[in-house]
Structure 1
């Protein structure tokens, strides 16, 4: 007794769904959903090339959406850093405008957000670019 094509699609979809539960990457979830859509297409009687095309397109679109969502969440995470608004103690300034500052028990490279700002007084962390602190004389509000 031979199984219908939609059964294969759904078995593949559930297999990837189970594998996704183990890995937690979400990419397999996208492909699992795409395979499920191909199974629905097979159930509706669409031919195999349309089933494969639908599955491939759903995988591509889902992956693009997931990557954009991950990019947005990374941006939000950076802007909500607990370091933003904290004061630093300047140890020294170099001629190129880069400072060595003391913060969290160690020395960091830092620079002013704008070269026109004054270097005197208390400076606050406005942003972090890699391992360099971006400083401002105005205390930024944490979001």
Structure 2
């Protein structure tokens, strides 16, 4: 097998593995394999191909790892405003049970509500902080 063909097959295999596993780091290694293929097309020997592949693959992996480490993780889906538009909305609770739960009308339907704030829940206006299935978690507004 010719040098460039080996590198292109390796790059394709790494991309296929990434699609199967969802490991983004494999795409960074595939970039390294592409570098090896381009160096092979340039007529360089196998050592230069391996070095180019290793350097670009490792550098891309390191850059991606540092980028992910510096960016904060997003909130879980149940309390992420980008996922659930109900987060941050307000509703009125008229009566609380002793266990910190209630039933409330919200968006034209009756919802179960759980108090997620400090202290004892009191009737009045509350802000939705999370949605777990059909249960709204609220705090005092």
**TM tier, shorter chain?**
0.5 to 0.7
Aligned length: 128
Contact 1:108–1:133 (Cα < 8 Å) also in 2: yes
Could you list the per-position Cα deviations for residues 80-120 of structure 1 after superposition, in whole angstroms to 9, with x for gaps in the alignment?
3311213153542547xx443435533132222x549x823
Contact 1:37–1:54 (Cα < 8 Å) also in 2: no
Contact 1:88–1:101 (Cα < 8 Å) also in 2: no
Deviating 4+ runs (over 4 angstroms): 20-24, 41-46, 65-72, 129-132
| Map of 1:134 onto structure 2 | 138
Provide the aligned C-alpha RMSD in A. Answer: 4.3
| Map of 2:125 onto structure 1 | 122
| Map of 1:110 onto structure 2 | 115
User: TM-score by structure 1 length?
Assistant: 0.55
Mapped to 2, the partners of 1:106 and 1:129 lie a distance apart of 10
3-state SS, counterpart of residue 79 of structure 1: coil
Change (3 A) 1:53 1:21: closer
Contact 1:38–1:51 (Cα < 8 Å) also in 2: yes
| Map of 1:86 onto structure 2 | 90
Mapped to 1, the partners of 2:140 and 2:34 lie a distance apart of 52
In structure 2, the gaps of 5 or more residues are: none
| Map of 1:64 onto structure 2 | 65
User: TM-score by structure 2 length?
Assistant: 0.56
